[in-house]
């Protein structure tokens, strides 16, 4: 296949949190949303997605309710908790700080 780009470790949580900022979405929908908004650059594997979601739940940043998808399939609609909502900002800031730092190193003096 083509140039698959692997996610950087630690970035998936942020991508998920940010996606959930727009409202409750089920797992499959999160993956599709990230793929779409990244213009097909980022492909979230299920084997990465669900462990990540469970991680976020464990940390109290995300919760879910059972429901039915647009296609009438059983689905869990994940959404941010109040803590999670704050955490999005923390994580976003951290990401920006980090990428700015890396950019400085990459930019040849």
Partner DNA sequence: GGTCTTCCATAGACATTCTAGGTCGAGACT
Partner DNA sequence: AGTCTCGACCTAGAATGTCTATGGAAGACC
Residues contributing to the site for DNA (CB under 7 A): 4, 6-13, 26-29, 44-48, 50-55, 69-77
Q: Which of 66, 7, 59, 61 is nearest to 31 (CA)?
A: 7
- Residue numbers 10-39 binding its own copies by CB under 8 A: 10-11, 14-15, 18-19, 21-22, 34, 37-39
Q: Which residue's entry shows tokens 């464990």?
A: 58
Does position 97 interact with its own copies (CB under 8 A)? The reply is yes
For strand 74-80 and strand 62-68, is the pairing parallel, antiparallel, or unpaired?
Answer: antiparallel
Select the binding partner of residue 92 from its own copies, DNA, none (C-beta < 5 to 8 A, by kind): its own copies
Q: Which stretch binds its own copies (CB under 8 A): 50-58, 69-77, 79-87, 90-98?
A: 90-98
Which residues lie below 8 Å from residue 12, measured CB to CB, with a gap of 6+? Answer: 44, 48, 49, 52
């Amino acid at each position: 296949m083509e140039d698959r780009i692997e996610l950087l470790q630690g970035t998936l949580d942020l991508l998920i949190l940010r996606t959930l900022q727009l409202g409750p979405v089920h797992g499959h929908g999160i993956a599709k949303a990230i793929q779409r908004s990244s213009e097909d650059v980022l492909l979230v594997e299920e084997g990465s997605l669900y462990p990540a979601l469970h991680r976020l739940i464990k940390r109290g940043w995300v919760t879910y309710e059972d429901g039915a998808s647009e296609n009438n399939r059983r689905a869990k609609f994940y959404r941010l908790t109040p803590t999670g909502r704050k955490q999005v900002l923390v994580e976003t800031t951290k990401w920006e700080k980090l990428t700015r730092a890396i950019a400085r190193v990459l930019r040849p003096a």
